Amino acid sequence: MAIDSTKIIHAVMEGSRVRESKGIMPHFGVYLSLFSVQYYNRLSFDFEKIIGPHRAAEAQDLLIKTAQECGYATFQGIRNSWEWDEIVKPMIVRKDDQIMGFAAVAVAFGWGDLKVEALVPNEKLVIRVSDSYEASGYLKDYGYAVSAKCYMLRGVAGAFMDLVYGEAYPEGCFSFVAKEPLCRAKGDSYCEFIARKSPY
């Protein structure tokens, strides 16, 4: 059975309208929050700016690792949740289908229109996004970039592979590493993320 993204999006939207009396939103095995993409973009891009151009690579690395570690914990929580068992698991036939399920949840979370373009099990994942909030936010506030800017999605692409093909949780984080050779923020027509096994 193919992954039904619409069903997953619907489930996330319904769930995100339900919260308990303390204003906390426990859903899909994690505590969710809804907040402006402007906040997340400002944090990332001003962090880079403050740290300075001489340490730009370090800033990017920290942001990608932060996202990968988060993606690893988040999607582990998600795939162990009752919502995943009820909604997504029945659509999963092969282990690889989990990646499609993760991508559908990321779309439901408003991170962009993720499409899995290619998946070579245990080797390579290619995801394309024509409207990531990171690239759109960068373009809007800063104009064209000289390097790719979707740090969150880059970390998340690595985390998807870590969870499915890395060692059992929690040992498998950073087994894979993703690059973003194409990014709308630098004038490409879409963002592309390629995750492969980490050489380290």
Partner 1 sequence: MVTFDWKRELDRRDHQVVLSGQPIAIHCHHYNINLQKTLEDTLGEEGIRLLYKSAEEAIYNDLTVLLEQYRELRTVKSKLEMASIVYQNCGLGIIHPQQVRSSGGYIISPSSHHVTGWLAKHGKRDTPGCHFPRGWIAGALAVIFSKPIGHYKVAEKKCKMMRDEECVFYVEEC
CB 106 within 8 A of CB 12: no
Query: How many residues in the shown chain lie near partner 1 by CB under 8 A?
Result: 47
Q: What is the DSSP string of 134-152?
A: HHHHHHHHH---SS---HH
Phi, psi of 155, rounded to the nearest 5 degrees:
-65, -40
Query: In the bound complex, what is the minimum distance in angstroms from residue 58's beta carbon to partner 1?
Result: 9
Which of 37, 56, 91, 92 forms a contact with partner 1 (CB under 8 A)?
37
* Site membership for partner 1, residue 46 (CB under 8 A): yes
CA nearest neighbour of 80 among 33, 30, 8? 30
User: Between 39 and 200, whose beta carbon lies closer to partner 1?
Assistant: 39
CB 115 within 8 A of CB 129: yes
Residue type, 34: L
Which of 113, 123, 141, 167 forms a contact with partner 1 (CB under 8 A)?
113
What is each CA distance from 41 to 56, 107, 139, 148, 188, in whole angstroms? Answer: 16, 17, 11, 14, 19
* Site membership for partner 1, residue 56 (CB under 8 A): no
User: Between 66 and 122, whose beta carbon lies closer to partner 1?
Assistant: 66
| Contacts to partner 1 from residues 138-197, by CB under 8 A | 152
Q: Which stretch binds partner 1 (CB under 8 A): 65-73, 167-175, 177-185, 189-197?
A: 65-73
Rule CB under 8 A: which residues touch partner 1?
9, 12-13, 16-17, 19, 22-25, 30-40, 42-43, 46-47, 50-51, 62-63, 66-67, 69-71, 73-74, 77, 107-113, 131, 133, 152
